[in-house]
Amino acid sequence: MRAVRFHDHGGTEKLQVDEIDRHKPGDDEVLVEVHGAGVNPVDTYFREGSYEPFTLPMIPGIDVAGEVVGVGENVEGFSEGDPVYGTGIGSQHYGGYAEYAAVPTDRLVALPEGVDTVAAGGAGVAALTAWRALVDHAELQVGDRCLIHGGSGGVGHAAVQIAAAAGAQVITTASPQYHDQLRELGADVVLDYSRDDLAEAVVEAADNVSGQTEGVDVILDHRMHEYLQFDATVGATGCRVVGIGEKDQNVGFSQSSAARGKDLNLTLMSMFNTPDFRPGLSKLASLMESGELEITVAETYDLDEAGEAQRAVLEDSFLGKLVITP
């Protein structure tokens, strides 16, 4: 089979397509013919060497979706021909940038009929991060005023839809070229993140929803080093802030009085700490089936273009996800 691998750490030039033996599923693994594998910033961290993969050479790719073509001896609940998707590989298991991937069953769920497996390949880490942040950690409720920083990103555009499906009032930030698309995805208010009066605009948007001068109830923040003090400013009393992001440094409040005065609740999370991936993945699959969650695929790349895909995920502006399609 063909697979993208890096044999040592470095830039995108380290990614090469190798012809290797097709994986055989372990006792608790499912062999998936890959239709789509999301491209994520974390994939580049393993390639660069800031995160260490379990072995070299390594096949990158945290996410995967496709069709089951083989199952291990102990596997139950999966059969050949089943459409599936999952996440959390690419560090302790070979990743999804390949024609086939052997995926542990605790990181994989079935996809309902009719869900696009290429789009689902981009869902995994982004959508599950958004779900964990909003549902599990922030305990998002119907009618909550929810601010999502960076609504055009992979996590952001999934979070907008999850919050809308939960019955929250959704405020998000993005470049102007993405405002119409984000409204179509369910955002009630979309604001240009570069405007000088952004804090005032967020509070005004929240007040227009609730009729009270307070601010927002829930915030999903992926750039805490830039926005954490901002979050304290725009948050209502008891605001729940969930911080995500792999490379935020020196996170803290420049002035803690606003946060303390509002009883602000800050949770820092990583999707990789999820005790069990399957419940969240299953809920997200149901949202994809119902049309309440649509993973927007901004661009697809074949295996030979993996280096360009990893460059683009860090440097280019786009809405949604980039996906490798072997």
| pLDDT value of residue 301 | 98
Q: Which residue has the tokens 């179509």?
A: 184
Pairing type for strands 265-268 and 100-104 reads: unpaired
Q: What is the pLDDT along the chain (326 residues), one digit of tens a residue?
A: 999 999 999 999 999 999 999 999 999 999 999 999 999 999 999 999 999 999 999 999 999 999 999 999 999 999 999 999 999 999 999 999 999 999 999 999 999 999 999 999 999 999 999 999 999 999 999 999 999 999 999 999 999 999 999 999 999 999 999 999 999 999 999 999 999 999 999 999 998 765 566 899 999 999 888 888 899 999 999 999 999 976 555 666 555 566 667 888 999 998 988 999 999 999 999 999 999 999 999 999 999 999 999 999 999 999 999 999 99
How far is Cα 196 from Cα 211, in angstroms, rounded to an integer? 24
Its pTM stands at: 0.94
| pLDDT value of residue 225 | 80
Domains of the chain, first to last: 2-123+295-324 (3.90.180.10), 126-272 (3.40.50.720)
CA dist 225 to 196, 244, 246, Å? 18, 11, 12
How far is Cα 122 from Cα 43, in angstroms, rounded to an integer? 13
- Give the pair of three-digit tokens for residue 248: 């935020």
- Give the pair of three-digit tokens for residue 315: 């440097």
Nearest Cα to Cα of residue 264 among 249, 289, 242: 242
- Give the pair of three-digit tokens for residue 236: 């209502």
Pairing type for strands 2-6 and 64-71 reads: unpaired
